[in-house]
Structure 1
Amino acid sequence: MPLVNIKLAKEDTPVTPEQKKALIEGATDLLVKVLNKNRATTVVLIEELTPDSWGIGGQSVQEIRQNTKK
């Protein structure tokens, strides 16, 4: 059973349910086409990460954004 985990940075403009549906369908189609996986058992998980839950260069993205606005 393949599992695809798509992680997106949560932005000011949220990902719509329609966009999430398209991502799930597209990732599933890709695994079926390229790896000949079974569509019925292909799992796609979408995670939206808040700016304070990931970082670059030792700072959270939230801190980086705040410092950029100054």
Structure 2
Amino acid sequence: MVKRKIIWSPRAKLNLKVILDFYIKRNGTMTFSKKLHSSFRKSIKILENHADIGHQSDVLNVKNIIDGD
């Protein structure tokens, strides 16, 4: 099994920041944003170690993974 490195595009990094900031402002605390970020990191580690999982997107070499319900 070959471990793959996940490369975040600048747009993806910005989107992540916007999402986390939204919940910080909405909830008035960082608690949920920290949990969400932790959940994202866990999913990323799974993808790094098991690159064959996830759904192929319309973009070459880009996969989607659904986290949670």
* Band the TM-score falls in, shorter-chain normalisation: 0.3 to 0.5
Higher strand share: 1
Higher-RCO chain (CA-CA 8 Å, sequence separation at least 6): 1
Query: Could you tell me the TM-score, scaled by structure 1's length?
Result: 0.34
Structure of larger gyration radius: 1
Relative to the length of structure 2, the TM-score reads 0.34
